[in-house]
A and B are shown apart, each in its own frame.
Chain A
Amino acid sequence: MKRFILPLLLAAHSAFAADQGPSPYYTVEDIATPPGLSPEVGGLAFRPDGKLVACFHRGEVYTYDPATQEWKLFAQGLHEPLGLLAPTNDEVIVMQRPELTRLRDTDADGVADSYETITDAFGMTGNYHEFAFGPVAAPDGGWFISLNLASDGAGIRHEVRGENRERGRIGRMYSAVPWRGWILKVAPDGKVTPWASGFRSPNAPGFDAEGRLLVPDNQGDWLGSSPLYHVEKGKFYGHPAALAWKPGETRAPLKIPVEELDKNRTRPAIVFSQNIVANSPTQVFHDSTEGKFGPFAGQTLVGEMNRARILRVVLEEVDGQLQGMTVPLLDDHGLRKGDNRFAFAPDGSLWVGETNHGWAGDKGIQRIVWTGKVPLDVKEMYLTKTGFDLVFTRPLETASASNPENYKAQRYYYEYHAAYGSKQFDLTEIAPKAVTVSEDRMKVTLEYHPLLAWRIYQFDFKGLKAEDGAPLENSLVTYTLNHLREGTPPPPPPGPGALSEADEKAARTKEAKKDPEAKPAAGKPATTEPDEKPKTAAPKSATAKPASTPAAKTSGTTTKPAEKKPAPKATPTPAAKPAATPAARKPATRLPARP
């Protein structure tokens, strides 16, 4: 099949992933798209009759028959469609930039002749960053959609749709018109209920197998690293801009003290470590194939735009809140980048829609088929009182499984603050205090001391292998540990919030003069300019040797010193809290020029 991708990207891709051949577990094939189509995929879904429906950046909706490999134009001229559902064979529910639309083919010619607005009851300023995502079908009827904030990389248009609220207009990412930064529930009759707030770029919501609504967001201002949220009605998720539209809230979002924002926010169930796990997570979905797609049936999956990677997420409820692990399902092995949209075909294959629009990546459609072989992977991971239980897909080889060297890890956290991104705070290398391999060699119990809350634990299990010698397929595993099983201490305090009023005025004056000094977004050291060295050295220089050579026992316990650095206090303190007084800080947010 012909690949309609940019030759350059092909070259670049293979240069980067030269060591990655095809996977023995998943085959990845390219689906040819019609010549002349720019296949920047915004949405994918399978109809009940097994045909694929896909929408593309330039406004087309196509149907594709996998049996005949024929494409047919279903609708055209949509405004940046970024998600769709195909509930029946003649109906597509599509989220385009200005509205949620029902496309219907009423005369059975395979082409939509009705473009019905389900709702356009949300604001638009014309700012490029106001993407609209979804829909996902609500279990009780209707849909959920999610709305991006605007970016001060551009202004707002002279004419906007919806009320233009001045106090929502301030900040790097802003919400000048209704429901930007919100997830909305749309009833079947089009009535809109604001559902949850505090999002920045929520691409894109989805349900897990337990029916929980999840949505990822993108690293940026107020987001130290990209999160995955468990979305519940009425909750606030941390980006203050959306609060311009919170009923009863009259303060400008950036005037709300950071401590108050921090107290009111619901923390992410998962934090995807920036530059390590994911930079730009995409659609949430789950393996609904009941085993046709491999050993991870029912698990939650999330795309990642920036790498050729699809992630698995395993959540568990601890202390009433969701948290859990991430691990790649597939990394490279023929998968391209820009993995934005996903749909399972009736045959259990996973169809991936890629886009490079405004982002690094590829464009096109790929199809992933499970070969029937079971990879050695961490299937599940659970928090215990003292560490973690790892559940594997296949029995482990004993020597490597019981070697504590293979369970060395790092832990750190990203700070909640107004500035863009976050460095890793309190980065610490850790080694297990005890490693226990189960009788059937399918489970490893790890103990770490101390086990700290509000940290991301990052593992690289590359030393593990299966009893038949097969390597662990995906060794990069993280666990977002917010709550301990018992006695969770308070979380680390937030970093600097937004501007004080005086700073804001100063910034405004400077901005008017186009003084480049007025532009920095850093109210505190940004990602790349830490003002303090972290307490711990970079992780790659680990020198500690295991206390003993791996024993050739079928199961056992090995102990070794737990920490490379002095044990932190029980109440965690950020390693690098800036000492600057508010007055000494630079403005945290660039003010947009006023029209």
Chain B
Amino acid sequence: MLLRFTTAVLLSLSLVLARPAAAQEVEPIEMKTIAGLRYDPPRFVVKPGAKVKIEIENADDMAHNFVLVAPGARMEIVNAAMTMPITPEQTFIPPSDKILQHTVVLVPGKTATLEFTAPEQEGVYPYICTYPGHGMVMYGAMYVSKQGEEQLPTIANDENLPDMVRDQANTAKLHAHATEPPHWYRTFMRDSGPASIAVALPGGQSYCWDAGACRLRYAWRGGFVDPTPYWKGNGDAFAEVQGTIYYRPGVFPLRFGEAKKVPTEVRFRGFNVVEKFPQFHYNVGSVEVRELIKPAHHGGIEATYQLTGAKGAVYFVVEPGAGVEASSSAGKFIDGVLKIPADKTKQFTISFLEILNREPLAYWSMNDTLVGKKPLPVEGPKGRAVIFDGKKSEHATGLKGKDLAEGATFAVWAQLAKPPTPEQVLIGAKSDEGEFALGANLVGVPGYGVRVKSAKQEAKIVAAMPMEADDLWHHLVATLDRKQLRFYLDGKPAGMAAAAPLPGEAELFLGSLGKASFAGATLDEARIFARVLDAKEIAALYETERGKGPPKPVPKPETAAPAKPAAPAKPGSKPAAKPATKTSSKSAQ
């Protein structure tokens, strides 16, 4: 163990030494042509006379090129390309000395690389797609400037960018009509079927109803959804919840005849607007159901069901441990099962009152992408998992340390990539006040663990685990209150220490410490609770999620570095731990 620890420190040192040499290499600009006739990024800055390398990938499903032109020459080149004779080759590159650089037309999926020296003249050099019809709206701006990106106007105000791009950066007004709740969007919602309906209710309550499964998928309080990610671009995005989900039923709740028999046959028939609220209409087998969800008088929501064609008793199931206290206008809940007498099934109302902090403050099933369009999610322990590349993948949670002041639990499944980078933070936050890190090889100390650090205190727990990635999925949980920090690995307690406070103003990130200590890992089922879960709950979480994923590979003996280059590494990139090692070198003590 001591030997490996030394190695890690040496590795950090060598990285520090190697940096000046690496700095002379050109950091390529990754440019994509994306759906909606856009370049991503829409602009970038280079220094006058600097060496520039642009790697262009056509990630759209139509043909594009990339043509860099002199300042002010955009429309001239667009028009020239449009009016040039159509040749079978279809290059769309008109003869002009105002074209500085260009690719061929890239069919979807194709890539090209341009390497050149930036002009000495400062200015805005447009890049355009000269494919006919595209250049009017498909362009971006290469700023040649001695100053950095921070000196530029905001994207919404950058007149060198297409209006489409600027419009989408400015999302103040979404509709011409008032959107006072109740109102709704049929749209794509995370952790629901593709035919989902997000409904805003008065009083800051909202819910997601799945028109495929014909049931409530989750309810939340706070803001409604931001539908703009879905509207902008090509529609490959979700409307994102702007609040805290407190109820997430996992099963279809209505049962007929037997409480345990989950109906399989449902058919959505639409909805009526009743006092401005949508009342869903669907069939469960031969039973016709109308379901009207309103805000409850004392917080939470209530659902009124009208059933036609139900014979005998009807059951309604709320799973144990759900984030709500359910009560009914007819019958009583016993162990989460409500039996509605046959004579009351015509109409009954069930109220769902939030149990504060029972559900996580935030939860990522990782069933869909979080950190960009690619790579697409892979199979994980539960559903899909998302690959974090160890270079720049991270997901800002929107939560800060102060949101968890009364107690916190951080839980995540992780499978480390090989070879592991020195410090891999799966969930982390860092500011001048201190830091929180749940991950592996923290500060070069091998093993999985957790660290909380403030100006005065530091708490650290490292489980005795191999330093190299063992190819296995592991479940990491840390709990923290004012007194204690506890760490659980794979459902079992793995150590505790006296607590240190979370940095209150630091934002929590998945996959990094916040622009540092990126995890090269596949993550699944990440949760952040605003309470301390006990050992039983943590063991249960582990048990319900393990063993459902892909077959686990046999752990390899701990020997030398892997023979094959790491899969995610790009050709030409430095091996091992080139990226972002500032933190590890600084804090390697």
Contacts and interface: CB of A to CB of B under 8 A. Distances in A.
Interface of A: 6-9, 12-13, 15-16, 33-38, 57-60, 71, 73, 76-80, 96-99, 101-102, 112-117, 120, 124-129, 151-155, 157-161, 172-173, 220, 275-276, 279, 306-307, 337, 356-360, 419-421, 423-424, 427, 512-516, 519-522, 526-530, 534, 538-540, 590, 592-595
Contacts of A80: 235
B584 interface: no
A296 to B, nearest CB: 26
A36 B174 CA distance: 7
Interface stretch (B186-194, B294-302, B441-449): B186-194
Contact-residue bracket for chain B: 35 or more
A358 B61 CA distance: 11
B258 interface: no
B372 to A, nearest CB: 12
A21 B571 CA distance: 54
Contacts of B35: 128, 153, 358
B63 A12 contact: no
A48 B167 CA distance: 37
Interface string B378-410: 110001100000000000000000000000000
A526 B107 contact: yes
Given A15-B75, A77-B186, A356-B164, A159 B109 contact: no
A79 B186 contact: yes
A158 B89 contact: no
Given A120-B211, A159-B192, A427-B88, A358 B104 contact: no
A155 B379 CA distance: 13
A423 B133 contact: no
A12 B136 contact: yes
Contacts of B22: none
A520 B136 contact: no
Contact of A279 (B109, B133, B195, B236): B133
Interface stretch (B269-277, B337-345, B452-460, B504-512): B269-277
A595 B378 contact: yes
B86 A276 contact: yes
23 contacts: A9-B137, A12-B137, A60-B176, A71-B176, A79-B186, A79-B187, A80-B235, A115-B270, A116-B270, A120-B195, A120-B268, A153-B108, A154-B376, A157-B188, A358-B235, A359-B37, A360-B136, A513-B567, A528-B63, A528-B90, A538-B88, A540-B85, A590-B109
A356 B37 CA distance: 10
Nearest to A79: B186
A76 B177 contact: yes
A512 B134 contact: no
Contacts of B173: 36
A220 B61 CA distance: 8
Given A58-B174, A359-B37, A519-B110, A16 B136 contact: yes
Contacts of A540: 85
Contact of A9 (B136, B211, B571): B136
Contact of B109 (A97, A513, A519, A539): A519
B250 interface: no
Nearest to A592: B376
A120 B133 CA distance: 35
A58 B231 contact: yes
Contacts of B231: 38, 57-58
B378 A77 contact: no
A172 B61 contact: yes
A65 B109 CA distance: 47
B367 A58 contact: no
Contacts of A8: 137, 162-163
Interface in B13-65: 35-37, 57, 59-63
Contact of A527 (B90, B175, B197): B90
B567 A534 contact: no
Interface in B309-325: none
B138 interface: yes
Contacts of A534: 88
B163 A34 contact: no
Contacts of A73: 176-177
Contacts of A115: 270-273, 278
Contacts of B374: 593
A534 B164 CA distance: 39
Contact of B236 (A128, A360, A514, A527): A128
A57 B230 CA distance: 11
B116 interface: no
Contacts of A527: 63, 90, 105, 107
A60 B136 CA distance: 28
A571 B365 CA distance: 59
B194 to A, nearest CB: 4
B132 interface: yes
Contacts of B175: 36-37, 58, 60, 76
Nearest to B385: A595
B360 interface: no
Nearest to B74: A12
Contacts of B192: 159
Interface in B251-296: 268-273, 278, 281
Contacts of A120: 195, 211-212, 268
A128 B237 CA distance: 8
Between B75, B108, B270, B568, the greatest number of chain A beta carbons within 10 A of the residue's beta carbon is seen for: B108
Given A77-B183, A115-B271, A275 B63 contact: no
Contacts of B195: 79, 98-99, 120, 124, 161
Nearest to A307: B133
Contact of A128 (B57, B136, B234, B568): B234
A80 B188 CA distance: 11
A410 to B, nearest CB: 10
A102 B281 CA distance: 14
A60 B79 CA distance: 36
Nearest to B236: A128
A515 B111 CA distance: 10
Interface string B105-122: 101111100000000000
B176 A37 contact: yes
Given A79-B185, A420-B63, A519-B111, 16 more contacts: A36-B175, A38-B231, A73-B177, A115-B271, A151-B61, A158-B368, A158-B384, A159-B212, A159-B367, A220-B62, A360-B37, A519-B57, A527-B107, A529-B104, A539-B85, A595-B376
